[in-house]
Chains A and B, each alone.
Chain A
Amino acid sequence: MTVEQRARSLGVHLVLIAYSVLAVGPILLVVMNSFKVRSAIFGSPLAPPDAATFSLAGYEKVFRSSHILTYYSNSLIVTLVSMALVLLFGAMAAWALTEYRFRGSTALALFLSIGIMVPIRLGSVAILSMMRSAGLNDTLTALILVYVAQGLPMSIFILSEFIQQVPKDLRDAARCDGVPETRIFFEVVAPLLRPAIATVAVFTIVPIWNDLWFPLILTSSDSTHTVTLGVQQFLGQYITDWNSVLAALSMAILPVVVIYVILSRQLIAGLTSGAVK
């Protein structure tokens, strides 16, 4: 490497490091200060907690005065059930659309793709009145139904591309052996779609877990709040109690960060449709 090349590479790294600090700095600052006593939060916000300033007071307060564990389990149920249904129904629909020739298949594919671009949020007025008249108002079922409807178009689009890559000989061989179509799908094709899960996950799980709008519109009691809405309301109530606010923020951040760090390779590969190796 020449001196000039080395200097250029150093410059590139400096820019990338600077931006990385800008990206995680604020998150780190919030999490770090959530473990400190109040005086240290204000006295030296940039210092990490040490023996003298360490405190869990904020976390104790959050556990005592909010239903944080209920919120977590609600978010978990809604996200996992929605994702399972989006994957199952999405893969089935994608299979039918790519595998069978029938009149109106193009029109149906177009109809399904409306949901990729048009936000379902704009139908909230009707969704709320539907849920009320079906008696589903303030239930997790209402959230799941909406999120499945919201996630399906994108997952059908992504899964169709994956199904097209499944070797055609595989399904035709099974067909020649007289295997029924449903078994071809569930036992031959579906297991091959496992890599697609990460891609679908980026586009469905993250928006569902983070959504504020539908929990705000469709749920009204503590027992049905999700983490995002529960923490948002807690923050509004305890806005002057900095320990609790920072602790509540950290509790919403940490699970996402942990899962992200574990799965980041697959998630990023999924987001860039496999272009990143």
Chain B
Amino acid sequence: MPESVSNITAQMPRAKLAGLLLFFLGPAVAIYTLFSIYPLVATMALSTYTSDPSGGRHFVGLANFETLLGDALWSKPFWNAFSNNLIFFAVHMCVQNPIGIALAGLLSLPGLRLKGLYRTVMFLPTMLSVVIVGFSWNLILSPLWGVAAGALKAVGLGSLFAPWLGLESSALVTLALISVWQFVGIPMMLIYAALLNIPEELIDAARVDGLGHFRIFLHIKLPLVLPTISLVSVLTFVANFNAFDLIYSVKGALAGPNFATDILGTFFYRTFFGNQLQLGNPTMGSAVATVMFFIILVGLCLYLFLVQRRIRRYAF
């Protein structure tokens, strides 16, 4: 900070500075605290209460969490949703990131023509609503319309077609792949930007040493964009463990068939809002939200303490 600024603002009378801070920070801090932080805290507080049929609320400590994790009626759907969520995340990590990296690598090749057009087109699905994307794929994959079946038949793989979204064994992975199709633009763009920021001299030095494009990418560029890749991974983690829209719009709140596509977001919605099978339960819903909060927190901490710190050492 240059001295001139700190001098001028430091000379400001205390009352005047306080007034300015109130004016500039007041609205943002008030709205953010009231509608973002307070609800989070209040939801966690509510998770330690239970409501009786008359509407009164009683403090029960951690009993809701004992029910959620210990009572088979609750714990079975919870662990089902949790493990489905892990699979959902794993598909993203194993498919979305490699494709994103590969596309970013191709786009950043020197002298590539039409790169603006490719970039625009490939990022388009990311801009659309998850609801629209989910429903469109639902139609395309539907055996009624027969577009997917026809496309497979055209390349001689007609026998591979199955109503993937309807089968218990394949619905979850299919939905995860739809989500990958939509959001691959984000790793692609972030990694692309990181690749462009690599100093030219480094690449030139490698080229002088006789390395080809592919080996330059693998041995020089890729290690340098590792921080971006891990950032993308943690963004994906948070988004996946908070996902809801896609499953809800394709499969409804019951996340069929037979809860095969139930993830924590849909489980939270059913618990909190209710559905055909059960009444909404705000206190248990709060408990589910609190558990989701801690899952996300664990993911963030792992990223901050393990990945982030280790990667710093290789950063340039």
Residues of A within 8 A of B (CB): 9, 12-13, 15-16, 19-20, 22-24, 26-27, 29-30, 41-42, 45-46, 85, 88-90, 92-93, 95-97, 99-102, 108, 111-112, 114-115, 117-127, 129-130, 145-146, 148-150, 152-153, 156, 168, 171-172, 175-176, 181-182, 185, 206, 209-213, 216-217, 228, 231-232, 235, 242, 245-246, 249, 252-253, 256-257, 260-261, 264-265, 268, 271-273, 275-276
Using an 8 Å CB-CB cutoff, how does the interface string of B1-37 with A read, 1 for contact, 0 for none?
Answer: 1101110111000000100110111011101101111
Interface size on B, as a range, is 35 or more
Given known contacts A114-B37, A276-B192, A268 and B119 CB-to-CB distance under 8 angstroms: yes
Q: Secondary structure at chain A's binding surface: helix, strand, loop or mixed?
A: helix
A88 to B28, CA, bound (A): 9
**A256: B residues at CB distance < 8 A:** 127-129
B39–A26 CB distance below 8 A:
no
B21–A96 CB distance below 8 A:
yes
Q: Is B272 among interface residues, defined by CB-CB distance under 8 A? A: yes
Contacting chain A: which of B69-77, B78-86, B281-289? B281-289
- Of A126, A146, A181, A209, the residue contacting B46 (CB under 8 A) is A126
**B300: A residues at CB distance < 8 A:** 117
**A85: B residues at CB distance < 8 A:** 31
**B158: A residues at CB distance < 8 A:** none
Using an 8 Å CB-CB cutoff, how does the interface string of B118-136 with A read, 1 for contact, 0 for none?
Answer: 1111111101111110011
A90 to B25, CA, bound (A): 9
In the A-B complex, the 7 residue pairs with the smallest Cβ-Cβ separation, listed nearest first, are: A123-B39, A272-B193, A149-B35, A96-B24, A126-B42, A93-B28, A210-B129
Residues of B within 8 A of A (CB): 1-2, 4-6, 8-10, 17, 20-21, 23-25, 27-29, 31-32, 34-40, 42-43, 46, 103, 106-107, 109, 112-114, 116, 118-125, 127-132, 135-137, 139-140, 145-147, 150, 181, 189-190, 192-194, 196-197, 238, 242, 244-245, 248-249, 272-273, 282, 285-286, 289-290, 292-293, 296-297, 300
